[in-house]
């Protein structure tokens, strides 16, 4: 993730950027879906609770674009899909 995105995640959304990486690195169970174009949404249950992030995936590399604490509808989606 770029330094600008890490700063946005930390100061705008109040989330440690390391937690966003946890969602993609397998330290938690994630639900991932394609949301349009080359962009994906992932919802994971991590050390900070439920986290939603958006990323682009190209040539085997994920580039995180945004991450924040999940809203109630996102938590409900995660629970339905992950059981």
Edge-to-edge strands, sheet with 39-46? 29-36, 39-46, 49-58, 61-69
Strand partners, 29: 45
Q: Report the pLDDT value the prediction gives residue 65, as an integer from 0 to 100.
A: 93
% of the chain surpassing 90 pLDDT: 54
- What number is the average pLDDT over the span 3-19? 91
Residue 28 has pLDDT above 60, yes or no: yes
pLDDT in tens, 48-75: 889 999 999 888 888 999 999 999 999 9
Q: Report the pLDDT value the prediction gives residue 27, as an integer from 0 to 100.
A: 55
């Amino acid at each position: 993730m770029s330094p600008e995105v890490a700063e946005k995640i930390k100061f705008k959304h109040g989330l440690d950027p390391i937690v966003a990486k946890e969602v993609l690195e397998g330290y938690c169970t994630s639900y991932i879906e394609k949301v349009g174009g080359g962009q994906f949404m992932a919802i994971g249950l991590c050390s900070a609770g439920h986290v939603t992030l958006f990323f682009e995936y190209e040539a085997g590399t994920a580039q995180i674009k945004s991450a924040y604490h999940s809203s109630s509808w996102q938590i409900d989606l995660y629970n339905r899909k992950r059981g």
